[in-house]
A = this chain, B = another copy of it.
Amino acid sequence: MELLFYAYRDFTAEPDAILAKHKLGRAHHRVIYFVGRYPLISVSELLAILRITKQSLSRVLGELVREGFITQQPGQRDRRQRLLELTAKGAELEHKLSESQRQRVARAYRAAGAAAVEGYRKVLSGMVDDDRRAKLPRNRGPRA
């Protein structure tokens, strides 16, 4: 439990510093991250992932759209949807933000070894609620 707190705390610290330069917060990071991870994601799916209210999301998402980090487009099958995608500018920021985290993860992975990483993933998955765990993308192998 303690470990998880420290890891999360330190994991978010560097991106927070970068975000501050753009006058953005951690909430923006989460949106940028998941839109980058799941291009053309719908607003409701994003809400389900973040587990916040649409009013909370709206503020943050609105800013990102206005500042040109994210674009919205109507869904093809369902035109009520406003599917979200990163712009080039958004992708660039996403990359910068992820960079420090990737390095941190990579360092931890190298120090711990492949077997440890396997276990790490297993345990973390086990802590996620069942409904979300079912939707987890399969491990795509070492990315560091």
Contacts and interface: CB of A to CB of B under 8 A. Distances in A.
Interface residues of A, number: 46
Contacts of A78: none
Given A4-B8, A6-B132, A136-B3, A105 B127 contact: yes
Contacts of A3: 121, 124-125, 128, 136
A118 to B, nearest CB: 6
B121 A118 contact: no
Given A2-B33, A3-B128, A6-B129, 11 more contacts: A3-B125, A4-B124, A5-B33, A7-B125, A109-B123, A113-B119, A115-B115, A116-B120, A119-B122, A119-B123, A120-B122
Interface of A: 1-11, 13, 30, 33-34, 37, 51, 98, 101, 104-105, 107-109, 111-113, 115-129, 132-133, 136-137
